[in-house]
Structure 1
């Protein structure tokens, strides 16, 4: 299985997006149970697997489609309309296949030698204690919020800072550890996305990670091979988070329209759907969501253009893309809250799925990839000639 290189017949982007759209009613039906059980059922992960979603970014060497990240983004934008927690798991468990496209092939050969459908989880927070040793790295530690980890038999990518002899950071890396090397701590009790199973992960002790199972999160290298694997890690991962958040917001629009169209006012004649303030809020909410969606797709299309020409994505563009993606949750949460307020008292009941979508937006907006305040200042400083913080887009300079 590890040596699959032949041409693989796979569905088109439109077929994959259509499959995601067809799942939305089914996902919406199970969303409440997913929250109550605090877990996405294995049957949902299997449905995503059968639909080919986990193959979208997987290299052809291991049976994948090696498609542009744009395809996964569009799929996530649909799935998020139905069950936020399930879509979030798909996002996290589906993005790592891209990571293997820029790793030493030995990592993928080891993981998928017997079964190319095995999934990998992650927690990129730089929590590892890291020590360079012969042939690789020795790491230890505990990491928070590893979403979908109960479905990841293949292990997890874990983040850690590499320090020099003076204790100064010189790199931030991801380390792929095996499932048998860690335990999961059932501590995910959250106001939204409760079903993602985002448990803490703790290594059982000092753990050796071979060099070929690690990569720099900061050091952007163009590399050879398929164009989609020539893109910056941060942009691809951050873009996936932003995409699923767009799905949450569009799910709120779907539900709001269904909620409002048949309603009648209690105190005055007429229907809320005829109220110009309701109409205005809905229209402006859709504008915010569509604008966020357009940014994500335009950025990845432009980036793929560079990669297909064998060029690195320019730093100037990467800084702009960073803000484009990190501003998505701000816009989508604003849109969601705007229309939620117009749902009146009916919207606050737990049986009304509108509040679940809004809570998902709230939690998604707190994700580190959605920190638009700091990123806005970063872009502003860059445009004003003040430079960029070390270790965000490039490795810190070594004196």
Structure 2
């Protein structure tokens, strides 16, 4: 049975699609598009029940993100990224959760997690400074997770590096307007963030290693298996699902166009065996990407539900599966786009927007294949853990 949120998305699909062009022109989600996401409930799927969340199976969340992204890439991307943040907030200090959700359980939390800031220890907490890029959906968020390195009393990074997630209210950071001018996913409004000398209480700083080793959900007393899948499965899940959904949207738009297309040779596209063969092969590749992604997260959920510890080798294989799924879907999308003809790529045809959005999503750091495949190969050979920064997203 489809999840009720997925049903709600289907009911509002035409409204979501109608705002795609507006989102792109604004360089962020239109307020009406953000309201549609709130109304469907997708942002509360991974939120704890204590604050009105659904504690949904992560597979249901991934499927919902895929569907939204197949309607509009930017809306799906924001759902996939911002929608994962309640999963992490469930592991944070109860006082922080109350500050975020106590008055409004629909409060959104932004990111990015890249450690571009420095925490300088002071009495009772830290002084925080930094600048971050790519804060998706940030205009509609009132809190944020930001990645940071621990610094010394002079603000110099401590070695070896120690990575943290820092939680800030909207009053403590600046959104840099006009910092998101890109070829794809324009409607995500993934703008720069600046923090200047913000005081951060100690209970709003989370050690990143606690997410990698699973100690944060255990220490928070969370019992739902949803919160015991690895961080490196949960966080990429929303992003990779969005990319796969975008490829599905491109395929659907392409099929709709090909039904009436007549090529310059006078041949109907529906009578061209080469075009049809390519479409069939691409459709199967995109479906394989979807299946791999959903199977991946389901297996981790099942392991968490059984109380089984998830090994480093499993985490490494999971990341390889995620990256491969995204690349497979986008390559397949490229095959059908190349058969769309010149008119298929006019700016009034949604095919071109899905194409641009898919490639922009593939460029995200979690989809860089080299380090992930490197770690996977070392792990298969028996060299664990791998050295240095290769560990950062495994």
Same fold (TM over 0.5): yes
SS of the residue 2:91 aligns to: coil
Q: Distance in 2 between matches of 1:166 and 1:157?
A: 19
Give how far 1:23 is off: 2.9
Q: Distance in 2 between matches of 1:26 and 1:247?
A: 17
The structure 2 residue matched to 1:156, chosen from 124, 144, 154, is 144
Give how far 1:212 is off: 4.4
Residue deviations 1:227-268, cap 9 Å, x none?
A: 111122121010110001111000011101100011223324
Q: Distance in 2 between matches of 1:395 and 1:363?
A: 20
Q: Distance in 1 between matches of 2:14 and 2:361?
A: 22
The structure 2 residue matched to 1:233, chosen from 219, 231, 238, is 231
Give how far 1:58 is off: 0.5
SS of the residue 2:194 aligns to: strand
* Pair 1:90-2:79 in alignment: yes
* Pair 1:146-2:147 in alignment: no
Residue deviations 1:58-109, cap 9 Å, x none?
A: 0011111111221111101100111111111222221111012222222211
* Pair 1:220-2:213 in alignment: yes
The 10-residue stretch of structure 1 (361-370 or 201-210) with the greater mean CA deviation from structure 2: 201-210
Kindly indicate whether the alpha-carbon contact (under 8 Å) linking 2:125 and 2:201 is maintained by their aligned counterparts in 1: yes
The 5 Å alignment of 1:2-13 reads: 13=2
SS of the residue 1:160 aligns to: strand
The structure 2 residue matched to 1:203, chosen from 195, 206, 216, is 195
Structure 2 residue runs of 5 or longer lacking an equivalent are none
Q: Distance in 1 between matches of 2:270 and 2:125?
A: 62
The structure 2 residue matched to 1:363, chosen from 355, 360, 363, is 360
Distance verdict in 2 for CA 1:171–1:315, change over 3 Å: same
Distance verdict in 2 for CA 1:367–1:119, change over 3 Å: same
Q: Distance in 2 between matches of 1:394 and 1:185?
A: 27
Q: Which position in structure 2 is the counterpart of 1:242?
A: 240
Kindly indicate whether the alpha-carbon contact (under 8 Å) linking 2:247 and 2:330 is maintained by their aligned counterparts in 1: yes
Give how far 1:115 is off: 1.2
Q: Which position in structure 2 is the counterpart of 1:349?
A: 346
* Pair 1:123-2:115 in alignment: no
Q: Distance in 2 between matches of 1:22 and 1:393?
A: 42
Kindly indicate whether the alpha-carbon contact (under 8 Å) linking 1:62 and 1:112 is maintained by their aligned counterparts in 2: yes
Q: Which position in structure 2 is the counterpart of 1:189?
A: 181
Give how far 1:394 is off: 7.7
SS of the residue 1:36 aligns to: helix
* Pair 1:304-2:295 in alignment: no
Structure 1 residue runs of 5 or longer lacking an equivalent are 1-11
Residue deviations 1:335-391, cap 9 Å, x none?
A: 111101100111221111101000001100100111122211221122122331345
The 5 Å alignment of 1:281-300 reads: 281-300=278-297
TM-score (norm 1): 0.90
SS of the residue 1:327 aligns to: helix
Give how far 1:28 is off: 2.0
Kindly indicate whether the alpha-carbon contact (under 8 Å) linking 2:293 and 2:321 is maintained by their aligned counterparts in 1: yes
Aligned length: 383
The 5 Å alignment of 1:45-84 reads: 45-84=34-73
Residue deviations 1:135-156, cap 9 Å, x none?
A: 4433211111111111002x21
Q: Which position in structure 2 is the counterpart of 1:172?
A: 163
Q: Distance in 1 between matches of 2:292 and 2:387?
A: 24
Q: Which position in structure 1 is the counterpart of 2:8?
A: 19
Give how far 1:295 is off: 1.3
The structure 2 residue matched to 1:109, chosen from 94, 98, 110, is 98
TM-score (norm 2): 0.91
Kindly indicate whether the alpha-carbon contact (under 8 Å) linking 2:117 and 2:149 is maintained by their aligned counterparts in 1: yes
Q: Distance in 1 between matches of 2:9 and 2:29?
A: 16
CA RMSD of aligned residues (A): 2.1
SS of the residue 2:84 aligns to: helix
Q: Which position in structure 1 is the counterpart of 2:30?
A: 41
Kindly indicate whether the alpha-carbon contact (under 8 Å) linking 1:159 and 1:174 is maintained by their aligned counterparts in 2: yes
The structure 2 residue matched to 1:264, chosen from 259, 262, 265, is 262
Kindly indicate whether the alpha-carbon contact (under 8 Å) linking 2:126 and 2:201 is maintained by their aligned counterparts in 1: yes
